Structure formats: C-alpha cells, structure tokens
Amino acid sequence: MKNSSCLRLFVAGKEYKQMKTILFITITTLLISCAAQRSIEYLAKMKYKIHSVTDFEVEGVSIDGKSQLGDFSPSDLLRLVPAFSRGELNASFTLNLLVQNPNPANDANEILDIEITALPWELFVNDNKILTGNISEPIHLKGNISEEKIPIKIHFNVSEILNKGSVNDLLKTVLKFGGKNSSTSNITLFAQPEIGTIIGNISTPNPIKIVDYEFR
C-alpha cells in the first residue's frame, strides 16, 4: 500500500513537471508570436522619403558647390580627363532618406529600437534604372514620431552608366545630379526594408517607391 502511494505521488509529480513544461512552451510561443506581430506592424507604419544627395565626388573631386564646368580647377581636370580616357570615371555620393518611425514607447517608457538589417534598392533617374545595391551594415532607428535620416552610400562608374559624350558632357550630367543646383525630383528609389525580429528577419511584401515630395 505504501509503495502504491509512492508510485502515485511519483506519477503525479512527473505529470506536474510535464504540465509546467507545456505551459512554459505555450507562454513563450505566445510572447514570441506577439513580438513578431508587433514588429510586422511597426514595419508597416514606417514611411520613407528622399531627402537629398550629398558628398558627391568624381575621382575624389568634390562637386558639392559646383554649378558649371568653369568651377573645376586645372588640378581637378588633371584627375578627371585621364580617368575618363580609361573609361574609369569612378564616382560616389550619399543618398539621404528620411524615415518616419512612429513606434510607441514600451511599458518602461523607453523608446523601442528598430534595426534595419537589409535595404535592397534600385535607383531610377528619369524613370531609367541605373543602379542597384544594398546597405553595407545594419541601421538602428529610435521609435518615435520624429524623422530620422538614413544615409545610403553609393559607388558607381560614371563612364559605364553614361557611356556617350565627352568628359564635359558627363560632368554636366553629374552636376545636374549632385552639384550646387541639383535636384532630387528626377530620382526614384525602389527599396524593400528588412528588420530584425525575435523570430528572424522580416521585410515588406513589396518594394516601396520612395520619392522626394511625400512620405510613403
């Protein structure tokens, strides 16, 4: 009789441990599901807009503040003309995006961080696709209603993209894009943001068409 009671207690204790394990797994799964759902909602709320083009350089020559060919010095041309002759007119610039990230504060009244782990993009100028790329490292955003800037560094060979005309023609085109009187009105970026979550990375279902005149 005593052995039978001990056996019942052992079985009951084992079942209790199993129930605790099942309950723990269930609660953990629910918490993870809720966190993932919140991340998806946060991602959907984020809006983007093209802000500016800055730090435009061609073969190390800055074109910020330049508006015409006469603004290039003789030393600038000594760099640019030989590179053009080789077909290697390398350029770089920063495309700055603004992002609205209206994520709420958590229960501790602390701002929730969002990490953009990837941002594959396609750059269009005058409706012509000229470049594709991605960010080189994650971007951290603070959750609030303010706007934050996302700088995207872009490198390309001007000669490959604009393969017609003289060096003067290419520089005139570059000045329109990144010089003193440049405009971003002819630039469109299609991007598909991806953020890190507790269950892995998630992205928007489709690329977002980002322009300079409104948040999308």
Q: What is the pLDDT of residues 82-120, one digit of tens each?
A: 999 898 899 999 999 999 877 665 544 445 567 899 999
- For the entire predicted model, the pTM comes to 0.78
Residue 35: the pLDDT is 57
Residue 106: the pLDDT is 52
Range name among 9-23, 66-80, 140-154, 157-171 with the lowest pLDDT average:
9-23
- CA–CA dist 32, 198 (Å, integer): 7
In the numeric block, the tokens 């350029």 are attached to: 91
Reported as a pLDDT band with limits 50, 70 and 90, residue 44 is confident
Burial, 185: exposed, middle or buried (Cβ in 10 Å; 0-12, 13-18, 19+)? exposed
Tell me what the mean pLDDT of segment 143-164 comes to. Answer: 84
Max Cα–Cα distance, the chain, nearest Å: 106
Q: What angle do CA 119, 177, 139 make, to 5 degrees?
A: 20
Per-domain boundaries in the chain: 1-45, 47-210
Q: What is the pLDDT of residues 45-78, one digit of tens each?
A: 889 999 999 999 999 999 988 999 899 999 999 9
Residue 82: the pLDDT is 94
Q: Sign (positive/negative) of CA torsion 195, 149, 89, 189?
A: positive
Residue 108: the pLDDT is 47
